[in-house]
């Protein structure tokens, strides 16, 4: 049976009963940042092409010659326009993938990718930050949700504790994790094969969704997974996760 560490819980004055707090990244800020980055990249592209052609041997020499064959200012204006369009697409994608959180005294709602998930107070024991991810733990120690989060962490913690939710500065079960290696003993039947498949999915382009689904399957077996670089760390919760 694993033991949780004694992690200090954050406290804050309670919000008035019934009031909701909503936190979301600024869509305009995200889009403008991406557009600015795209414009800068577009403006630098002609300069990069000329630098490549100045080298004794240059990769992509053909595309660079084709690009620099366009006269100025049409060349720079064109590459900046392409960069801005690319930035817009990237910005809209980033907004679509960003997490928003709605907090009340009785429910917490996570919205991402046009999908909302609502959790009750009885379902959640504690919230904490794991790197760039927000994690919700169930009372039995299994993870209820784990999402990439670009919100201000201090504001998020203050909002949650103001409504009476528990916030920990780190995973209360962090000491219980151990590094997974293929064939390691002590895992439920089928977990090792899923971890092998998940390790493979994490190395493949477009494999993030498969890795996410396999994390959910592992939770059903009572196995919690943490990622550090290319390594997987696991802890086993007594009994199966169920539900």
**How do residues 37-86 score in pLDDT, each as one tens digit?**
999 998 888 888 788 777 777 666 677 777 777 888 888 888 899 999 99
Residue 140 φ/ψ, nearest 5 degrees: -85, 0
Q: Are residues 1 and 17 in the same domain?
A: yes
Of the listed ranges 96-110, 136-150, 162-176, 228-242, the one predicted with least confidence: 228-242
The token pair that represents 243 in the structure block:
């539900």
Q: Please, which residues bridge with residue 225 across strands?
A: 234
Instruction: Tell me how long the chain is.
Output: 243
Residue 143, Cβ density class (10 Å: 0-12 exposed, 13-18 middle, ≥19 buried): buried
Rounded Cα distance between 99 and 208, Å, is 17
Q: Are residues 200 and 240 in the same domain?
A: yes
Rounded Cα distance between 107 and 83, Å, is 42
Residue 223 φ/ψ, nearest 5 degrees: -115, 125
Helical spans, DSSP H, in 15-110: 27-53, 61-68, 74-97
pLDDT at 154: 95
CB 192 within 8 A of CB 183: yes
Rounded Cα distance between 12 and 232, Å, is 34
Of residues 41 and 5, more confidence is placed in 41
pLDDT per residue as tens digits for the range 162-211 = 999 999 999 999 999 999 999 988 999 999 999 999 999 999 888 889 99
Q: Are residues 102 and 66 in the same domain?
A: no
Q: Are residues 51 and 161 in the same domain?
A: no
Q: Would you place residue 3 in the very low, low, confident or very high pLDDT band (cuts 50, 70, 90)?
A: very low
Cα–Cα distances in Å, from 98 out to 24, 35, 88?
Answer: 8, 17, 15
Q: Record the pTM.
A: 0.73
pLDDT at 12: 47
Within 10 angstroms of residue 90's Cβ, the number of other Cβ atoms is: 17
Which of these three, 171, 187, 209, is where a domain ends?
Answer: 171
Rounded Cα distance between 30 and 228, Å, is 26
Q: Are residues 10 and 47 in the same domain?
A: no
Which of these three, 97, 114, 133, is where a domain ends?
Answer: 97
Cα–Cα distances in Å, from 65 out to 8, 48, 68, 70, 74?
Answer: 61, 11, 5, 9, 15
Query: Residue 199's domain spans which residues?
Result: 177-243
Strand, coil or helix: 12: coil
Q: Are residues 226 and 116 in the same domain?
A: no
Rounded Cα distance between 235 and 177, Å, is 5
Rounded Cα distance between 91 and 35, Å, is 7
Q: Are residues 199 and 165 in the same domain?
A: no
Q: How many domains does the chain have?
A: 3
pLDDT at 241: 45
Q: Are residues 10 and 111 in the same domain?
A: yes
Q: Are residues 36 and 127 in the same domain?
A: no
Percent of the chain with pLDDT over 70: 89
């Amino acid at each position: 049976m694993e033991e949780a560490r004694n992690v200090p819980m954050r406290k804050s004055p309670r919000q008035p009963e019934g009031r909701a707090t909503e936190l979301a990244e600024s869509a305009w800020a995200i889009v403008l940042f991406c557009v600015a980055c795209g414009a800068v990249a577009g403006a630098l592209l002609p300069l990069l092409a000329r630098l490549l052609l100045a080298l004794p041997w240059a990769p992509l020499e053909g595309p660079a010659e084709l690009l620099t064959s366009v006269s100025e200012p049409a060349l720079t204006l064109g590459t900046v326009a392409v960069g801005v369009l690319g930035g817009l697409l990237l910005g809209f994608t980033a907004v679509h993938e960003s997490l928003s959180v709605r907090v009340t005294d009785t429910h917490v709602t996570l919205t991402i990718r046009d999908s909302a998930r609502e959790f009750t107070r009885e379902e959640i024991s504690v919230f904490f930050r794991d790197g760039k991810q927000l994690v919700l733990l169930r009372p039995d120690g299994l993870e209820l949700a784990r999402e990439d989060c670009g919100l201000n962490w201090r504001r998020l913690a203050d909002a949650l504790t103001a409504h009476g939710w528990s916030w920990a500065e780190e995973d209360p079960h962090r000491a219980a994790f151990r590094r997974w290696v293929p064939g390691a003993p002590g895992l439920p039947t089928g977990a090792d094969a899923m971890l092998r498949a998940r390790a493979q999915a994490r190395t493949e382009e477009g494999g993030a969704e498969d890795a996410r689904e396999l994390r959910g399957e592992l939770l059903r077996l009572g196995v919690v997974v943490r990622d550090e670089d290319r390594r997987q760390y696991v802890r086993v919760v007594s009994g199966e996760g169920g539900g």
